[in-house]
Amino acid sequence: IEDQTYFLIESGDEAEKQLVGCGGWGRRRTLYGCDHTIGRDDSLSDPGSDAARIRAMYTHPGWARLGIGSLLLQLGEQAARDGGFKSIELGSTAAGEPLYLARGYVEISREVHIAANGADNLVITMGKML
């Protein structure tokens, strides 16, 4: 949000706005995690040699499969292109993988991360050329 690279998609009129999707892209080296994540690398990526990052994608369940995720990807990819990046990467959950595959992303790696509560979280790192 601070970098002004995060998008919100709302539905409805002014009186009944509802957040239906959000997501963004980033120039920072860290693929996922928030500002206070331990081990976060806050440095900027080099558009000439590094990939931009798609980050924190979410679609409201009532709006799933209506193009919200695809729109967020288009916005992020175009902004990264405009920023001079030639490639882009993201960390996907298993649920998001079909969307990213359909949009031309390929798997780079799969890792299971253990959350603070002990839960296993599969992270599929994916990327594509812009």
Domain positions in the chain? 6-129
Give which of 102, 125, 123, 124 is closest to 113, Cα–Cα: 123
All residues at 6 or more sequence positions from 105 whose CB lies less than 8 Å from its CB, including other chains: 90, 92, 126, 127, 128
Cβ burial, residue 50 (10 Å; 0-12/13-18/19+): middle
Question: pLDDT of the chain along its 130 residues, tens only?
Answer: 566 789 999 998 888 899 999 999 987 655 555 455 555 556 677 889 999 999 989 999 999 999 999 999 999 999 999 999 999 999 999 999 999 999 999 999 999 988 889 999 999 999 999 9
pTM of full prediction above 0.85 = no
Reduce the DSSP state of residue 128 to 3 states and report it: strand
Q: Are 29 and 65 in contact (CB under 8 A)?
A: no
Domain 6-129: top CATH class: alpha beta
Residue 49 tokens read as: 């040699």
pLDDT of residue 30: 59
Instruction: Supply φ then ψ for residue 41, to 5 degrees.
Output: -100, 105
